[in-house]
Structure 1
Amino acid sequence: MKKLIALTLFALTITGCNTIAGVGKDVQKAGQAVQGAAGH
């Protein structure tokens, strides 16, 4: 279930970026969301 939530957040984040720099920031935010969901 946590993976599904993380993947959904990741997909929503990626669709909102317009530049390569934006992709990097979005991936970083998604990674932080995954860590938060995992309790780290």
Structure 2
Amino acid sequence: MKKTSMALAVLLALSACNTISGVGEDVSNGARTVQGWISG
């Protein structure tokens, strides 16, 4: 279940970005979100 949620979060982050620089920002935001889920 966690793997599916993480994959979905990554896909949503990547689908939301419009530029190459936006990819890095979206991936970073996705990573922070997943870290928040793991930390509690």
- What SS does the corresponding residue of 1:13 show, helix, strand or coil? helix
What TM-score comes out, normalization by structure 2 length?
A: 0.78
- Number of residue pairs the alignment of both structures matches: 40
Unaligned segments of structure 1, at least 5 residues: none
What TM-score comes out, normalization by structure 1 length?
A: 0.78
Structure 1 runs (4+) deviating above 2 angstroms are none
- Tell me the equivalent position of 1:32: 32
- Tell me the equivalent position of 2:7: 7
Structure with more helix by fraction: 2
